[in-house]
Structure 1
Amino acid sequence: MRLIRTLAFAATAAAALSIGAVIPASAATSVDDGSAPSFQEFAASTYRDVDGSYIVNGDEVISNRSDLRAFYDVLIGPETRNDGLIVNTVSGIDDKWSDAQVSNLTYCVSTKFGARHADVVNAMASGAALWEAASSKIDFQYVSSADGNCTTRNKSVLFSVEPVQTSQYIARAFFPSTPDRQQNVLIDDSIWSSGSWTPTNILGHELGHVLGFRHEHTRPESGTCFEDTNWRPLTPYDSSSIMHYPQCNGSSDDLSMTSTDVAGVVSLYGN
């Protein structure tokens, strides 16, 4: 039912996190016209980031071609229906941090942001605070001493926050299961001119991925923008969720956090 248009969305939706961007017409509905692209065609049309990873579903990282093939195979497999604010799963297991790690999510902010460095530091802190306020178990810790060497190779922090120049997304992040070499948050300058999407809420959305949360609009209730079924429900569907793209039949225009989001965080990590 979803072959062509779902695959087209997955490969091209990296642009969907841009303000005013329109979901490709090929992604608007789920229609099987009997001519699904081959994996080679799908791979060739999927955006590759500065570190060689593949970006799918707008701002999600696929580490290598083998993992991209597994992602493709899920997309063209049987469709299943589920409900909830949703956590990513790997082989059916929740993709989440341990209790010890989620209370010590250390990060640095690259000095390569230049004049915007302090702005990024503040936006990261306020974005992290959205999740920290939802659960006392979550603690993002900014390590300023690592800023001068803020890359994924710096082992004094869990992840790095670095600038990128791209027209493919405003920002992108990673999941707990993402390999260490790709555990970074990349931010384009367009974050400062994204209309009603504030830097705080954009980075709050990205840090939701860091915690393991998937895009809410992949659920069938959204009616569009399906991604895959590698997730587990935590709450009822929430079209206003911070993890729901507004342009994917979302009911919020600012990516703000909702009470349902809070309930989902508590369900996964505790109060």
Structure 2
Amino acid sequence: MRFTRTLALAATAAAAISLGAGIPAAVAAPTDVDSGAPSYQEFASSTYRDVDGGYVVNGDELISSQTDLRAFYDRLIGLDTPTDGLIVNTVNGADDKWSASQVGNLTYCVSTKFGTRHDDVVAAMQSGAALWESASSKIDFVHVSSADSSCTTRNKSVLFSVEPVNTSQYIARAFFPSSPDRQMNVLVDDSIWSSGAWTPTNIIGHELGHTLGFRHEHTRPESGTCFEDSNWRPLTPYDSSSIMHYPQCNGTSGDLSMTSTDRAGVVALYGN
């Protein structure tokens, strides 16, 4: 299937869903690009550049450099989609996942710059992480509270940081295991506390799904909209209610809760 639907969505990913490896604030309508895809220069200039220099596409997914952005663009306008719940990101055909030893020690800090919301973010991280940890005993997110006062990507005592951001482009955004160290952070906007049916637990849960390597479920052809790219491998049958499926993209769950199919996909990738 030639890409004909959402190159424009990828370019305006910051406005896609209010979550973000980010949840955006509102999803742009799918666009048919058969009649004339934007040039790479047009695509790049309209793609949101985040506070750490990366590019945010697909609502909340991070691309690290201009070289990677060009490769992403080329895939969007030229590749077919796979025809097969949960899907894992791939890099050069290999699963984008943590090693068995690392996935059991996913250390993080929560910045004290969240101020009075610090404890709330700590709680949301713990409950969001528990969604994945309960699916597989191999997964363990570990809060290193001693690092909270100097919680940035430069802090080498943790694998990743959780930091506040002030943006209207997304509610939160994360990273994939293959992301460079300088972009291994989960950024959270204050709008996470006013996102209606999307609870902070489920929003953070969605983002932590990206940190484990899981892609947006709605990039599958079964969704019928919001196609992103073909760099993924199916782990389960399509799940329109997946925690990784934007409700705005023909999803059937309004609250981003985790499903039994999601849990099966976690086990398929990381084990029981």
TM tier, smaller? over 0.9
Q: Tell me which amino acid in the other structure corresponds to 2:253.
A: S
Residue deviations 1:96-128 (CA, integer Å, cap 9, x gap)? 000000000000000000000000000000000
1:5 offset after TM fit, Å? 4.2
CA distance in 2, matches of 1:239, 1:90: 24
SS at match of 1:162: strand
**Alignment partner of 1:16 is 2:16:** yes
Alignment of 1:121-132 (within 5 A): 121-132=122-133
Instruction: Using structure 1 for the length normalisation, give the TM-score.
Output: 0.96
Unaligned runs of 5+ in 1: none
The corresponding residue for 1:200 is 201
CA contact (8 A) 2:18 2:195 kept: yes
* Percent identity over paired residues: 81
CA contact (8 A) 2:151 2:163 kept: yes
CA distance in 2, matches of 1:12, 1:214: 18
SS at match of 1:171: strand
Residue deviations 1:187-242 (CA, integer Å, cap 9, x gap)? 00000000000000000000000000000000000000000000000000000000
Q: Tell me which amino acid in the other structure corresponds to 1:139.
A: D
**Alignment partner of 1:214 is 2:218:** no
CA contact (8 A) 2:17 2:27 kept: no
CA distance in 1, matches of 2:258, 2:84: 19
CA contact (8 A) 1:84 1:232 kept: no
1:73 offset after TM fit, Å? 0.7
**Alignment partner of 1:257 is 2:243:** no
CA contact (8 A) 2:25 2:168 kept: no
Alignment of 1:12-51 (within 5 A): 12-18=12-18, 21-25=25-29, 27=30, 30-33=32-35, 35-51=36-52
CA contact (8 A) 1:84 1:235 kept: yes
Q: Tell me which amino acid in the other structure corresponds to 1:23.
A: V
SS at match of 1:160: strand
The corresponding residue for 1:6 is 6
1:31 offset after TM fit, Å? 4.9
CA distance in 1, matches of 2:63, 2:33: 25
The corresponding residue for 1:155 is 156
CA distance in 1, matches of 2:47, 2:72: 12
- Are the structure 2 counterparts of residues 237 and 30 from structure 1 closer, same or farther at C-alpha, using a change threshold of 3 Å? farther
Q: Tell me which amino acid in the other structure corresponds to 2:7.
A: L
Q: Tell me which amino acid in the other structure corresponds to 1:18.
A: S
CA distance in 2, matches of 1:235, 1:109: 32
The corresponding residue for 2:137 is 136
CA contact (8 A) 2:17 2:26 kept: no
The corresponding residue for 1:75 is 76
The corresponding residue for 2:189 is 188
- Are the structure 2 counterparts of residues 171 and 22 from structure 1 closer, same or farther at C-alpha, using a change threshold of 3 Å? closer
Instruction: Using structure 2 for the length normalisation, give the TM-score.
Output: 0.95
Alignment of 1:51-66 (within 5 A): 51-66=52-67
Q: Tell me which amino acid in the other structure corresponds to 2:190.
A: D
CA distance in 1, matches of 2:158, 2:72: 29
CA distance in 2, matches of 1:253, 1:268: 26
Residue deviations 1:149-176 (CA, integer Å, cap 9, x gap)? 0000000000000000000000000000
CA distance in 2, matches of 1:84, 1:233: 8
1:6 offset after TM fit, Å? 1.9
* Residues paired across the two proteins, number: 268
SS at match of 1:36: coil
- Are the structure 2 counterparts of residues 261 and 166 from structure 1 closer, same or farther at C-alpha, using a change threshold of 3 Å? same
1:82 offset after TM fit, Å? 2.7
Unaligned runs of 5+ in 2: none
SS at match of 2:233: strand
CA distance in 2, matches of 1:128, 1:254: 17
The corresponding residue for 2:178 is 177
1:7 offset after TM fit, Å? 1.3
CA contact (8 A) 2:61 2:173 kept: yes
1:84 offset after TM fit, Å? 5.1
